Amino acid sequence: MAFSIDILDTITDPGKAGRPNEDRFGFNPDAAFVLDGATGLGDRQFMEGHGSDAAWMAEFAASRLGARLDGVVDVAETVRAVSSEARDTFHAIAGEQPRYAWPSSSLTGLHRTPSGFEYFGLGDSCLYLLHDDGHGDFVIPIPGAYEWEQLAAQKHIERTGGIGASGSAVGDPTTLEDLRKGRSRHNTTESNVWTFGMVPEAADHLYRRPIEITGGATAILCSDGLADLVALYKIYDPAGLVRRAETEGLLPLVEELRRFERDIDPDGLRFPRFKQSDDTTAILLRLKA
């Protein structure tokens, strides 16, 4: 049986003008993926030319994954190798830094293998799937990640009264300290939150799942920005989100997201979150067997 991944549409949109877009995406005939760089929590930037260390990490990973993810490669070993390269490159320039300052990203992707399709991921980016028979599916490496973040953001909003003029919660010292403590535990057994970055051992915890389809399916790989339309604003279910993109493309979804973020609830009082507007990246694709 022959299997194929066809790219229907792509989009990447920065959360705020003047700030670097820390998302990236990539694809080739055998794979498609989205990377969402984690907002930096360090005191300074080390990797020049990308706007932030998180943007550097996403770009570094995207270029290498796009070149190496062919139909027979082991995805986990590829992730391990790229993470090792990123670690060595960062440390050569930045030296020893606290763990919360290490750049990292979430990763969500699909891989075409000789026997079918496999999902792979780390962190909180996700996959929405619409099968040809009409039923939808949702896949995320960390179940409950969106709900946990909403609860944490709600505590911040209740304490500070809103997101604030900066558009980001990291401007608040108390919240920043809490986020740093959490980030320092990432990629350790203490938290079991595994992300793509400078810890090669995270490849041992790469979430992988066969994607079984009959005939065909349409899918969205996306960063958590676009996922807010389902998880936070609850405008769509997984099938509805993909169906809207299938008929109108990805741009109307991003425009709808920005309307909620910037016009309906700019300060996060109705829909708690750590940023007014998050970087948003997605790939709309077609799987055929």
Q: Percent of the chain scored above 90 by pLDDT?
A: 90
What is the C-alpha separation between 122 and 107, in angstroms, rounded? 5
In the predicted model, is pLDDT for residue 271 greater than 80? yes
**Is 241's pLDDT higher than 90?**
yes
Closest among 60, 202, 63 to 121, alpha carbons compared? 202
Assessment of whether the complete model's pTM goes beyond 0.85:
yes
> Are 10 and 245 a contacting pair, CB within 8 Å?
no
Residue showing tokens 């027979």: 72
pLDDT digits (tens, 9 = 90+) for 183-214: 999 999 999 899 999 999 999 999 999 999 98
N- to C-terminal Cα distance for the chain? 7
Q: What is the model's pLDDT at position 208?
A: 98
Average pLDDT over residues 171-193: 92
How much is the pLDDT for 18?
87
- How high does pLDDT run on average in the chain? 95
> For residue 67, what are its two tokens?
């070149």
Instruction: Give helix 251-259 / helix 224-231 axis angle, nearest 10°.
Output: 70
pLDDT at residue number 171:
79
Lowest mean pLDDT segment, chosen from 58-67, 162-171, 275-284: 162-171
Supply the pLDDT for residue 165: 73
pLDDT of residue 52: 96
Confidence at residue 190, expressed as pLDDT on a 0 to 100 scale: 92
Domains of the chain: residue spans and CATH: 4-288 (3.60.40.10)
Q: What is the pLDDT of residue 164?
A: 78
Q: Which amino acid type is present at position 230?
A: V
Give the pLDDT score at 2.
Answer: 83
Q: What is the 3-state secondary structure (H, E, C) of the chain?
A: CCCEEEEEEEEEECCCCCCCCCEEEEEECCEEEEEEECCCCCCCCCCCCCCCHHHHHHHHHHHHHHHHCCCCCCHHHHHHHHHHHHHHHHHHHHCCCCHHHCCCEEEEEEEEECCEEEEEEECCCEEEEEECCCCEEEECCCCCHHHHHHHHHHHHHHHHCCCCCCCEHHHCHHHHHHHHHHHHHCCCCCCCCCCECCCHHHHHHCEEEEECCCCEEEEEEECHHHHHHHHCCCCCCHHHHHHHHHHHCCHHHHHHHHHHHHHHCCCCCCCCCCECCCCEEEEEEEEEC
Q: What's the average model confidence in pLDDT over 230-255?
A: 98
pLDDT tens-digit readout, 122-152: 999 999 999 999 999 999 999 999 999 999 9
Mean pLDDT of 17-40: 95
Residue 18 contacts residue 282 (beta carbons within 8 Å): no
Closest CA to 9 of 248, 240, 213, 259: 248
Residue with tokens 């309906």: 264
Residue with tokens 């009409």: 134
- Say whether pLDDT at 167 is over 80: no
pLDDT tens-place string over residues 91-133:
999 999 999 999 999 999 999 998 999 999 999 999 999 999 9
- Please give the C-alpha separations between residue 254 and each of 109, 116, 122, 199, in angstroms, as whole numbers: 20, 30, 23, 32
Position 1 confidence tier, pLDDT thresholds 50, 70, 90: low
Distance between CA 206 and CA 167 in Å, rounded? 32
